[in-house]
Each structure stands twice: as C-alpha cells, then as structure tokens.
Amino acid sequence: MANKEVYSKITTHVLQEMKLKGEKIAMLTAYDFSMARLLDEAGIEVILVGDSASNVMAGHKTTVPITLNDMIYHASSVMRAVSRALVVVDLPFGTYQGDSLEALHSAIRIMKEAGANAVKMEGGIEIVDSVKRILSAGIPVIGHLGLTPQSIHKFGTYVVRATEENEAKKLVEDALVLEKAGCFGIVLEKIPAKLATEVTQKVKIPTIGIGAGNGVDGQVLVLHDMLGITQKFSPRFLRRYHNLSEEIKGSVQTYIEDVKSVSFPNDREQY
C-alpha cells in the first residue's frame, strides 16, 4: 500500500508508479489554505483546485463564470499550505479552448503566479493543440473526459455521459489522443463503470474517476460534497463522510444562545 513514508513528495511520476503497482490514488478538491493544510496532513495524494470553486466557494450555478484570476487566487492559497500532495489546478472556461497560445499563457500564469504543479483541462481531440503547446513548455497536464461541466450549456443536463455507443467510442479515442499528446493522467467524470474500466485498461497513464466506478486508478470528490457542507447535491456516486452542515449550524446556534444568555464569555474567557 502507498503511504506517507514511501512517497515523501507526490509527483506525476509517483502517480505513474502507483498505477503500475496497482495502488489507488486518492484525490480531493480544495480551494483555501486551511482545508488544503488538513488534506495534506491527512495524506491525500492529489489536491485539485477545481473550477467547482465557482459553485462551492462563489455560489454560481455552473463552473462557467469563474475567472483565471479567481483560480490563481484559490491556487495560491492552497500552495501556501501544501508540502506533500501534488496540486493540480483547473484551467477555467474560456482560457484555453480557442487558441493554443492563449492556452499556454493561461497555464503559465497558473504555474508562475500560483506556483501550481500541473493543470487540468476539459475535452479531447478539440483541445489537443492547446494541450500539446502547454506540455511543450514543460507544464504537466491532466485531461478530463465524460461529463465536462464547462460544457453544461451544450449538454443541457448533468446526466451520465457516454451511455450511447458513438459517444463511448469517441471518449475512448479522446483518451488515447490525450495519452499520446503526453498527459500524465485523465479524470473520467460520470460515465458507465464498464467504459471507465475499459479506458483504464487501454491507457498506460492513471485514470481518476468521479462517478466512474472502481475500475479506475483513483477517485476524486468535491471536498464540500463529501464532508456534507453542500446539502442539496446528492448524485448516486457521492459518498458523504460527514454531515458538517448540521454540525456547523448546531455550533453557530449554540454560540448565538451563549451570546444572548451572556454565558459567553465566562470568567476564564476574559482578561
């Protein structure tokens, strides 16, 4: 089993080694210093500064509005906390799809201004020129296929992707294209478990699933979902490890009562 002693610092090469050894990779999102520090101390291998920050931090309905400056702010906060985990940062919508030079500039800003370790990009063959240009500058890239939330306005819904043969075939081809381009891994979101297993067996780079079954090389969840901070989002793939929303509300209500009843602060809590 992988553990903190064996891997003192997680790199893309370590992830590759883990796939070869059949050791599962654990990845979670984080967007701020305090949470990132807890995740790193707990031994998480990969921290994703996801553009899901658009939803869980900024309250937007989709990941579309978040900006490159927003992502750099979140990523810089995470980088100040982390000493062991590999930190991957999402390139946000509109910063890499149209033009490979613009994509390169966006990725360089994330690497230079935030000090990130790698970037993540959504899409297959359509974005491969941008992927290659970023890789040619020495910046590690992880792909993202299946349900790619930046395309929500095209999909129209967050249902499982690639259930039809044509879309499944394209997904496998896209995975091979991303591997050939030089990506160090691929995130597979909300696709049938059988298809995710097939992709995982076909590519030599690690696959990280979210709603993609357990035949992949690792798993990722949005931190606020798995801790139960978000309340209404309950897809089948989400396992909640905590009910923090109730705990936080309970603590805040107790604090309000203590303030109103003047039981806080007590004699030992003042100077």
Catalytic residue selected from 23, 45, 179, 189: 189
Query: Does 143 engage in binding with ligand KIV (CB under 6 A)?
Result: no
Residue 46 as a binder of ligand KIV (CB under 6 A): the answer is no
Q: How distant is the alpha carbon of residue 27 from its chain centre?
A: 7
Among 23, 40, 45, 51, binds ligand KIV (CB under 6 A): 51
Judged by beta carbon, residue 233 or residue 264, the one nearer ligand KIV is 233
Size of the residue set binding ligand KIV (CB under 6 A): 11
Phi and psi at residue 120, in whole multiples of 5°? -120, 140
Q: Is residue 95 close enough to count as binding ligand KIV by CB under 6 A?
A: no
Closer residue to ligand KIV (CB): 239 or 268: 239
Q: Is there a catalytic annotation at residue 189?
A: yes
The secondary structure of the chain as a DSSP string is ---TTT-SS--HHHHHHHHHHTPPEEEEE--SHHHHHHHHHHT-SEEEE-TTHHHHTT--SSSTT--HHHHHHHHHHHHTT-SSSEEEEEPPTTSSSS-HHHHHHHHHHIIIII--SEEEEE-SGGGHHHHHHHHHTT--EEEEEES-GGGHHHH-S-PPP--SHHHHHHHHHHHHHHHHHT-SEEEEES--HHHHHHHHHH-SS-EEEESS-SSSSEEEE-HHHHTT-S-S---TTPPP---HHHHHHHHHHHHHHHHHTT-SS-GGG--
Which is nearer to ligand KIV, 29 or 230 (by Cβ)?
A: 29
Q: Which stretch binds ligand KIV (CB under 6 A): 43-51, 70-78, 108-116, 251-259?
A: 43-51
Binder of ligand KIV out of 50, 124, 146, 206 (CB under 6 A): 50
Instruction: Report the residue number, 51 or 174, with the smaller CB distance to ligand KIV.
Output: 51
131, 143 contact by CB (below 8 A) = yes
Is residue 230 a contact point for ligand KIV (CB under 6 A)?
no
Residue nearest ligand KIV by beta-carbon distance: 50
Candidates 127, 195, 222, 226: give the one binding ligand KIV (CB under 6 A).
222
- Contact between 36 and ligand KIV by CB under 6 A: the answer reads no
Closest approach, Cβ 51 to ligand KIV, in A, equals 5
Task: Give the shortest CB-193-to-ligand KIV separation in angstroms.
Answer: 17
The catalytic residues are 189
Which residues are at the interface with ligand KIV (CB under 6 A)? 29, 48, 50-52, 90, 187, 189, 210, 220, 222
